[in-house]
A = this chain, B = another copy of it.
Amino acid sequence: MLRGIDPLLSGDLLKILDDMGHGDQLLLVDRNYPAAASGKSVIRLGEVGVLRAARAILSVLPLDSFIDHPLERMEVEDDPVKTTSLQNDLLALASESEGRSLEYGVIPRLDFYQRASAAYAVVHTLEDQPYGCFILHKGVIFQPVA
């Protein structure tokens, strides 16, 4: 437990989020995603959904403002326009966190499985909504904190 830091952010997860640099990608995935097989570091959050996990992660992680789609989602049923309620909620959360209106990048399901190869780490949840898989691209912080 640390002051001002969401308790869902364990030491291991904090280390990963801080070790990541500009452009590094974090996969945030549902219970069915083949996280372990990715060969990347996997943080298992246990019985927590993607939205709760994203709230904790986005409380400290800036998204990349240098690219058009710093937030990507898995495509739903081969329809690039169709979204789930979870995907809508996460987009609203990320837009609020960033203070700007974000739009999703959309990744076909089978392509998404390949994207783990370019990820820095995978955050695994027990999200039960289908297509609950996302990629977050880390951004930069220019303003002084201390």
Q: Which B residues lie within 8 Å of A14 (CB)?
A: 2, 11, 14-15, 18
Q: Which B residues lie within 8 Å of A60 (CB)?
A: 2-5
Q: Which B residues lie within 8 Å of A9 (CB)?
A: 18
The segment from A69-77, A80-88, A125-133, A138-146 found at the interface with B is: A138-146
Q: Which of A1-50 contact B (CB under 8 A)?
A: 1-12, 14-19
Q: Which B residues lie within 8 Å of A19 (CB)?
A: 11
CA distance A3 to B57 in the complex (A): 10
Copies in the assembly, this chain? 2
Question: With A55-B146, A56-B146, A146-B55 in contact, do A18 and B2 touch (Cβ < 8 Å)?
Answer: yes
Q: Which B residues lie within 8 Å of A55 (CB)?
A: 146
CA distance A87 to B100 in the complex (A): 45
Does A59 lie at the interface of the complex (its beta carbon under 8 Å from any beta carbon of B)? yes
Question: With A7-B145, A14-B11, A145-B7 in contact, do A2 and B56 touch (Cβ < 8 Å)?
Answer: no
Besides A3-B141, A4-B60, 15 other CB < 8 A contacts? A1-B140, A2-B60, A2-B61, A2-B62, A3-B59, A3-B61, A3-B62, A5-B60, A6-B145, A11-B16, A14-B14, A14-B18, A15-B15, A55-B146, A56-B146
